[in-house]
Structure 1
Amino acid sequence: MTSDLDIFVGNTTLIDEEVLQLWLDGHSVSEAVARRLRGGLLDHTGSSVQVLQSDTRDHFRTFQMLERLLHAPPRLLQQLLFQIPPPRQALLVQRYYAFDEALARELLGKKLSKGTRKDLDEVSARVGVSIKSCRRQFDNFRRVFKAVEELRGPLAENIQQLFLLPPPMARDYAAIVFFAFSRFETGKRRLQFLSFGDLAACAQELMDRWTLGALAPEAAEPDGDVPKSFLQDLKELKVLVGDKDLLDMHKSLVCTALRGKISVYNEMEANFKPLSRALVNVGAKLTHARDVRDFFVDLVEKVRDPPHGDTPLPPLWGHPLPPPMGTAPYG
């Protein structure tokens, strides 16, 4: 009796980026082999199908063993079992925690619970991402949320420290966590024109200006908490609606701050009064949980598309907000 045994011996753990992506996308070994064959890999290497199968299977086995370390990336740096150069370690972490923006957009504002995870079959079909990949990405969102929900200080910085993510990716995860904290309604049909990037930019602005971490940095509270006292204070803005002198002062301050910084400055200045009134009315209502949850719905219905009979705002308010200055995509 004879038996075949495939043995791969080496010191440095090899990471094939193509196979890694196939594994992350949720393909089985046989599916990954078929895709590598269609890519003409054998034509370049002169190898056999059997060797390709063994190579793919070995890579998948390695990734599966590494996965438990990727759940807490600092452990990947500290372990001695896998000899992986630091640049490849960073690649593994970034690839593992990268996500499809269409999937993140579907999940924004939803509770990151087991119940939501059970509904991923439908989400997978809508966004065109395999169910295995959807579950991995959802578990990443939930893991990050659980890790930082009780921590004090800026969300993005905490995420970057705990999961060794590059700053742009950490900011995106911070936006996901912020929406999971606040549970803003984002799934309504009228909000579908807003992409994940648009809402992530809004989340960053809210964290920078509205949260306990921004309003009381000495307390070092989490960025995800918007204090009720701050929302109550927004009611005081109602004075801007009926006082012409205050409105003129408000316009002067806003225009001074935005002049030369936004491409639609002229339209904003020309329509400042109806825009200001609509925004003040939305802000003054944010004293009840339901109104806070519908914040983005109200911005669209009452600012972007005001009720019939109100002064229409210029077309620019139908466009998504630009990303915060200084941000850059990760790749």
Structure 2
Amino acid sequence: MSMELDVFVGNTTIMDMEVYQLWLDGLTVSDAVKVRMDEGALLECEANPEVLTSDTMDQFRTFQMCERLLHSPTKLGSQLLYQIPAQNQIILIERYYEFDSVFAREVLGKKLSKGTKKDLDDISCKTGITLKSCRRQFDNFKRVFKVVEELKGPLVENIQRHFLLSDTLARDYAAIVFFANSRFETGKRKLQYLSFQDFAFCAGQLISYWTIGAMDSMMEDMDVDLEKEFLNELKDLKVLVNDKDMMDQHKILVCAALRGKIKVYKLMEVNFKNLSRALINLASKLTHTKDVRDLFIDLVEKFIEPCRYDRWTVAEITLFLTHYTNAAHCLGTFRHQMIWDRYMGVIKSCILQMYHE
């Protein structure tokens, strides 16, 4: 049985983005062909399985040859070997660096080293993501980290400039770099309910308000390291719980603002000092590396779990933290307003993101 094929020659590299996604997902050629057949590719192209297999192999071969360029995205536009339209280049890069949130959650906060890479077999089994895809995603994390960790300037902008990623994806990578650098504890059992996006949001808050670059845009490593001077100054907030008169006045102001506005008012009134001590003690300990790494587990154990036990709603926690923060401004002898606002702004945002009813 003979078959006629139309053949044309051109200098534009033809890439099927649906096949590209199958390649990124780590499928073999045979598995990719099966997926394409199940999706009706034979009917759409009026081809037989042999032609579909040949086309898939050809596409996979093209992607593999282009992969080394994707490791340095800025080179893709200047190279002459593959004539790829600009719009296709953007899609190729963005999809290559996209990652599965469940995979990122598994490696978040871990050192991006050979030791972690050895765990990818287990992570693949746990998440259902192919090992090939896990390796690509891990290598991308490591590559971005190595390029930007020592650069001056805003972290997100550095990632965008060197890897040509969208703002959203660059911010997610900034969270991965930030967590890998500070090694925050994310693996404890009590933290398992938190998603990658929960942690990424918190990373964005910490980067924006607690790093060196939050106050001085000319500093090196500005978005990677927390500002030590600020963390040191947080010890001054202890006066809010060490000074009995100030603590009592703080409680009176918060209770007056919340009376009749929250259902858990009586529980809040009884537990006010415990909740306040939890927030202030957490601040005063952040001069120690271990306590910085335990920031999220401390927030869960010392504040979120007690509130969850008493059935606080997100709206009630929002009101409490808002008035708790604002009331300190009415304490005449409290002299640390700027530090207080910088601290509580981030803590409030992180708690609200991490509190799942």
What TM-score, normalized by structure 2, do the two folds share?
0.78
- CA drift at 1:214: 0.8
Number of the residue aligned with 1:174: 174
Equivalents in 1 of 2:58, 2:32: separation in Å?
12
Q: Is residue 110–residue 180 contact of structure 2 (8 Å, CA) maintained in 1?
A: yes
Number of the residue aligned with 1:282: 282
Equivalents in 2 of 1:163, 1:251: separation in Å?
52
Number of the residue aligned with 2:150: 150
Equivalents in 2 of 1:180, 1:99: separation in Å?
16
- CA drift at 1:286: 1.4
Q: Secondary structure at the match of 2:69?
A: helix
Which of the numbers 287, 311, 314 marks the counterpart of 2:312?
314
Q: Which runs of 5+ in 1 are unaligned?
A: 1-6, 257-265, 324-331
Equivalents in 2 of 1:187, 1:251: separation in Å?
38
Q: Give the superposed CA RMSD.
A: 2.8
What TM-score, normalized by structure 1, do the two folds share?
0.84
Q: Which amino acid aligns with 1:37?
A: M
Equivalents in 2 of 1:252, 1:148: separation in Å?
46
Q: Is residue 194–residue 320 contact of structure 1 (8 Å, CA) maintained in 2?
A: no
Q: Is residue 150–residue 222 contact of structure 1 (8 Å, CA) maintained in 2?
A: no
Whichever of the two has the greater Rg, that structure is: 2
* Structure 1 pair 130–251 and aligned structure 2 pair: CA distance change class (3 A): farther
Deviates more, 1:99-108 or 1:298-307: 298-307
Deviates more, 1:79-88 or 1:222-231: 222-231
Number of the residue aligned with 1:14: 14
Number of the residue aligned with 1:192: 192
Q: Is residue 185–residue 294 contact of structure 2 (8 Å, CA) maintained in 1?
A: yes
Number of the residue aligned with 1:24: 24
Q: How does 1:1-331 map to 2 (within 5 A)?
A: 9-243=9-243, 244-245=245-246, 271=268, 273-274=272-273, 275-306=275-306, 314-316=312-314, 321-322=352-353
Equivalents in 2 of 1:312, 1:150: separation in Å?
45
Equivalents in 2 of 1:193, 1:79: separation in Å?
45
Q: Is residue 20–residue 63 contact of structure 1 (8 Å, CA) maintained in 2?
A: yes
Number of the residue aligned with 1:327: none
Q: Is residue 304–residue 351 contact of structure 2 (8 Å, CA) maintained in 1?
A: no
* Structure 1 pair 161–205 and aligned structure 2 pair: CA distance change class (3 A): same
Deviations 1:45-66 (A, max 9, x none): 2112111111111100110011
Deviations 1:66-111 (A, max 9, x none): 1000001010011111111111110001110000000001111000
Equivalents in 2 of 1:110, 1:252: separation in Å?
42
Q: Is residue 264–residue 312 contact of structure 2 (8 Å, CA) maintained in 1?
A: no
Q: Which amino acid aligns with 2:126?
A: R
Q: Which amino acid aligns with 2:139?
A: D
Q: Secondary structure at the match of 1:302?
A: helix
Number of the residue aligned with 2:4: none
- CA drift at 1:313: 7.5
* Structure 1 pair 314–248 and aligned structure 2 pair: CA distance change class (3 A): farther
Q: Which runs of 5+ in 2 are unaligned?
A: 1-6, 319-349
Q: Which amino acid aligns with 1:188?
A: K
Number of the residue aligned with 2:327: none
- CA drift at 1:36: 1.0
Deviates more, 1:106-115 or 1:285-294: 285-294
- CA drift at 1:245: 4.7
Equivalent residues, number: 303
Equivalents in 2 of 1:202, 1:247: separation in Å?
31
Q: Secondary structure at the match of 2:51?
A: helix
Q: Secondary structure at the match of 2:76?
A: helix
- CA drift at 1:320: 6.8
Percentage of matched positions with identical amino acids: 55
Equivalents in 2 of 1:115, 1:8: separation in Å?
49
- CA drift at 1:276: 3.6
Q: Is residue 150–residue 220 contact of structure 2 (8 Å, CA) maintained in 1?
A: no
- CA drift at 1:231: 1.6
* Structure 1 pair 177–44 and aligned structure 2 pair: CA distance change class (3 A): same
Q: Which amino acid aligns with 1:314?
A: W
